[in-house]
Each structure stands twice: as structure tokens, then as C-alpha cells.
Structure 1
Amino acid sequence: MRPILLSGHERALTQVKFSKEGDLIFSVAKDHVPCAWYSANGERFGAYKGHIGALWTVDVDPTTTFLATGGADNTLRLWEVKTGRELKQWEYLTSIRRCEFSEDGKRLLGVTEKRTGQLSNIVVYDIDNSSPDAPQPSEPTLRIVVDELPRVTVAGFSYLSKYIITGHENGSVAQWDAKTGELLNEVYSHEDGMAVTDLQ
């Protein structure tokens, strides 16, 4: 199989995601424009303009209707995949380091960066995925302030979205109740000082 080269970003890539069907690839980089590509030939499907500064995270919902992005402009944004239209913007005090849709696409998770004077927050929004024109909530249904653990580096939902799993800069992995936000378990899966960089 011949590799496909995707040329479009001006700075280093930070995350890449396939759509559930595998026909589209979504990418973000240290520039400010998320991109979508046809996986069959590498042609660009579209770009999503609105962010300012580096982007750290991207995810697409199971129906490839909604796209979520987050970055150094301290915003988490929701887009319509087909048109590139921005549907909702949530603002925070620090960067968004990770975003992920639940398995059914009805919840969206975001993680804010820990910085001097600001703790990492895990936020979950209930997404109305009935239509791109449906109003989206301004406030999260769940907010977890991570005050007892090291900085969150990655996060995501477990199977069936019963739990939220977080990886941390000290190599630990934590399990949280996705409804109550209660910390249920913490294990050290990597050597101390080896940050967890991805969860699947």
C-alpha cells in the first residue's frame, strides 16, 4: 500500500483522529486551523476556522456530524463536520488539553490544563445530537476538579461511558465515576516521571 501524504498544516501535528467509518481523517496542529481529509486519497475535505493559537486535541462523534476541538486559546469548540460551521464555544481560564465524545455521541468531555493558580478540570457536557441546529448547554453537567492528583495529560470515556479514565504526568492512571465524578481507583502503570501520553 502506498502511503498518503497530507499537506496542509504549517506547524507540528498534535493529534489525528479517524471518523468511525474510516473515510475521513481529522487533524489538529500547533497552527490554529483543524482540518478534515479524505482517507482514500489524502485530499482535504475542509477546514474549521475560528481558533487562535495552537490546538492540542480533536475528536469526531460516532455519526461524523459533530467535531470537537480544543487548544491554547482556552476554548473548547463544537463544529458541524459537513459545513465547517461553529456551533458552540466554551471558554476556560487555561488551555484545553483533551476532548472526547462518549460512545453514543451524547456527551462531550474536556480537560483543562493545570497551571500556576489553576487546577485541572474535567468537564462533561450533555450534547443534543438530534440536529446541528439544536441548542447546546452553556454549563457542564459534571465538573471534576483534580486537586489530589498530578496534572492530567490525557482522558477519555470507558466502554459504555460508565467511567472516565485519566492519565497523569507521574505515570498514574485514575478511574472516575462518570455520573458523580467520584475518584474510584488509581494505579501506577508507568515508571514515576513517565507521563501517560495516550489512552485507547
Structure 2
Amino acid sequence: MRPISLRLHERPITQVLFNREGDLLFVAAKDKLVSLWYTTSGERIGSYQCGGVVYSIDVSQDSKFLITASADARAKVWDVQSGRELDSTDFEVSARSIEFSQGDKQILVVTDQVMGCQAKIHVFNFDKDEVRKLSLSYTLPSPQCKITQATWGPLNKTIFASCEDGAVRIYCTEKRELIKTILDHNKLVTRIEWTKHRIMFMTCSKDGTAKLYDTKTLKLLRTFDTGRPINAAGISPTKPHVILGGGQSAESVTTTKVDASQFKVRFFHIVYGEELGGLIGHIGPVHSISFTPDGKTFATGGEEGLVQVNHLDESYFEFDDDLIYNPPVQH
């Protein structure tokens, strides 16, 4: 399995994301660019120029619209094909996270806690026929700490927020209030990742662990301990496997002796919790991991601005095919 290396961005990658069909790869970075690539060949299609560091992106189910959240305190809607900016919404502080609801009827935007402003989750109505008229639907109560990411729960009935204080907060979108707080991490939660159909979700944390939960009961099913900060997870849609990536922060890397092996992405079996292997491809912390919907390809983005696209070979899919997949239970 030889990866395709995508070299364009001059600053750290913040997110890699495949569209619903898996044929397009979107890459966001701190150099104010979002680039678009063909998944199969690694050929660059074009880019979208934002006014600040791009922290978060998402693409509509029909791949017609791209949304971006950036440090210039703006959330933008783009036409994917033409690259035109269709709408821009201004905030008082940086927009940290953005995501389409399931069905693309709404968009959530997280704004930062900075300069006396509280972190907030804003929900906008989105109409594909009137893109230039985004309207604010509601704003959720602030958790009184920084939110690193927010994501829609099953059927858009809830919104999950990963927070700086190590908590995952769950909000009811109907009542528009906090209904549950999960306090299993002791450091910042960097990312929430869903399994296919959102039956389970995984949290990643600077405390060196990733935790798998049952979405309905919120029961902790499995803890994966890597011994180093985890920034990203990619859960296979076809195999009971998860890929974890991270590493020491950029500040630590410049002051201590490290080797590239600590930045490898590591494969774990979801059921048994065992490490299956790893891939070395980055020379800095890994910030984002994404699988194609068919589970045949995954991409990673790192601190050095490099994106690696890995097309999994047949031997991977023959591995542990005889195992029966059942959700694990942690006692």
C-alpha cells in the first residue's frame, strides 16, 4: 500500500474530508486555503480562498455546496463546482467548527471563547434554492468553556459538543438546552467521530485515550489508550477497525527529541481493543483522518501540511473476515 502524497499547503492541515460518493477529497489548512482533489488519482481540481485560518469544513450530500468556518470570524457557503462564494455570515470571534445537519436543512457553527465572548453553538436554516439568505434559527446556551467541535446526533435530535474541560456536552435541539454531560476524559476533547448510521461514537482527547460509546445509552464500550495525545480518529464503515492519529503538540516537538514513529497512525480492532498495526507517513502530529464511504481509502492530514491518501489493498479486506462483529462491552 503506497500512499499518494498531496503537497500544496504550506501550513498545518486542520481537516480532511471526503464527499458522500468518496470521489472528491476536501482539505482545509491554516494557510487560509481549502483545496479540492480527485481521490483516485490525487490530481488537484482547485482551491477556495478564505480570509483566515480554516478550522473546519463540510460538504452537502449532493456535493454542490461547501461550508467553511475560519479565523476571520466568518462562516461561508461555496459553490463546489465553480468555486464561487455564495454567502458569508460574520461573527464577533473566530468560527471554530461547522457542519451540515443530516438532510442539509440546517448548519451549525461553533464560535470561540475569546476576548470576553462565550463559546456558542449557532444553528442556521439552509435552503439550497435560496443560499444567499441564511437565517439564524437559534443559539444554544454556552458551556462556559471553549468548544473544539460540535456535531449533529442521530436524526438531528441532539447536538454533541467536545469541550476544552474534557467534557462532551449533549444538547436537545427541540428544547434547545443541555440534557447530558459526559465526563470521562481529564484533558481537552479534540474530536467526536461517528460510526456508520451513528449507532456509536468515539471521542478523542489530549489525555491519550479515545473512548467508544453507544449512542442510545451513552454507555462506555471501549477505551483505547495510546499514551500520546489523540487528535483524530477514522472509523471504517465496513470493518470493525478504527484508525487513531495524533502525537505531541508542535510546541513540544520543537523542544524535545522525537522520532517519526510517534506520529504514525495506528489501527485498532473495535471489538477486541487490540492494536493491529500502524503506518508512518507524517513527520509531525496528525490532525485529521477520514475514510471514504466504501471503506477502501483513507486520508490523513498533518502538522507539516502534508496529506496522505491511502488506497487499501486486498490483503486488508481479507484480514479477520471470519470474525463476527458485535459491539464490545466494557465492564
Q: TM-score, normalised by structure 1?
A: 0.92
Specify the alignment match of 2:133 in structure 1: 137
Specify the alignment match of 1:122 in structure 2: 121
The answer to whether the 8 Å contact 2:119/2:144 transfers is: no
Q: Which has the higher contact order (CA 8 A, sep 6+)?
A: 2
Q: How many residues align?
A: 193
151-160 vs 135-144, which moves further? 135-144
Specify the alignment match of 2:171 in structure 1: 176
The answer to whether the 8 Å contact 1:119/1:145 transfers is: no
2: CA distance, partners of 1:198 / 1:97: 12
Tell me how far 1:180 sits from its aligned partner: 3.4
User: Between Structure 1 and Structure 2, which shows a larger proportion of helix residues?
Assistant: 2
Q: Deviations over 1:95-142 (max 9, x none)?
A: 01100111111111100000131011111111112x4xx244343101
Q: Does 1:37 align with 2:33?
A: no
Tell me how far 1:53 sits from its aligned partner: 2.3
The answer to whether the 8 Å contact 1:98/1:110 transfers is: yes
1: CA distance, partners of 2:54 / 2:145: 22
Specify the alignment match of 1:72 in structure 2: 71
Could you tell me which amino acid in structure 2 is paired with residue 109 of structure 1?
Answer: L
1: CA distance, partners of 2:43 / 2:171: 40
Specify the alignment match of 1:83 in structure 2: 82
The answer to whether the 8 Å contact 1:172/1:188 transfers is: yes
Q: Deviations over 1:130-166 (max 9, x none)?
A: x4xx2443431011240x4421111100111110000
64-73 vs 149-158, which moves further? 149-158
Specify the alignment match of 2:96 in structure 1: 97
Specify the alignment match of 1:18 in structure 2: 18
The answer to whether the 8 Å contact 2:141/2:177 transfers is: no
RMSD, aligned CA: 1.3
2: CA distance, partners of 1:61 / 1:138: 15
- For the pair shown, the structure with the greater C-alpha radius of gyration is 2
